[in-house]
Amino acid sequence: MWLADIAHLPDARLADFARWLSASERERHARFVREERRRQFLVGRALLRLALGRLLGMAPDRVVLAERPGQAPALADPPDARIGFSISHSGPLVACAASTVTRVGLDVERIDPARDVLALAGQVFARADLARLRACGGSARTALFYRLWCLHEARVKLACDSDADYSFVHEGVEVALCCERPLAAAPTPLLVDLAA
């Protein structure tokens, strides 16, 4: 699991990453209206290529991702169905997870203590989880909401039953990783400096 803060990435580094994109990824990147979303997309794809390149023993610019409308990208070259991966972002944080042993779903969310978590939970959560949220207050409610929210989103991205869920907070951001099969050890996030 790799995490990167993209707030202060130099334009030259972003230009390097843009050269790694396929034609369809460049088209999608150009369609984003908000600069923050363009950066998240670009760095998410670069971070994923770095992680996959490390797993596969190849240069990240040689990893080819295929766009799939409405879905996560697929690994096109080298094709390998054993590789599970997921990308997520929230504000200046971009994250990816990749595994050679299981499919994965990842979600990150910047914690906002001012957010009306009960209103949002009422639209998405099951009654039991909503009851758990109502039973606590203040910072405990906020922490529980973000843990449940990220686990929910990570399971959606996993797109199959999760047999192992991992969650933690990193510098005001909730992180959840769901896996089709348990990992040998709980994942440790690797903070990556992409400016170098």
Indicate the SS3 state at residue 77: strand
How many CB atoms lie under 10 A from the CB of residue 158? Answer: 23
* CA 22/CA 66 separation, integer angstroms: 8
Q: Indicate the pTM of the whole model.
A: 0.91
Helices 117-124, 138-158: axis angle to 10 degrees equals 30
pLDDT tens per residue, range 30-63: 999 999 999 999 999 999 999 999 999 999 999 9
pLDDT at 81: 67
Question: How does residue 108 score in pLDDT terms, banded at 50, 70 and 90?
Answer: very high
Phi, psi of 58 (to 5 degrees): -140, 160
Determine whether 108 is exposed, middle or buried from the number of CB atoms within 10 Å of its CB (0-12, 13-18, 19+).
Answer: buried
pLDDT at 128: 94
Judge whether residue 73 has pLDDT over 80. yes
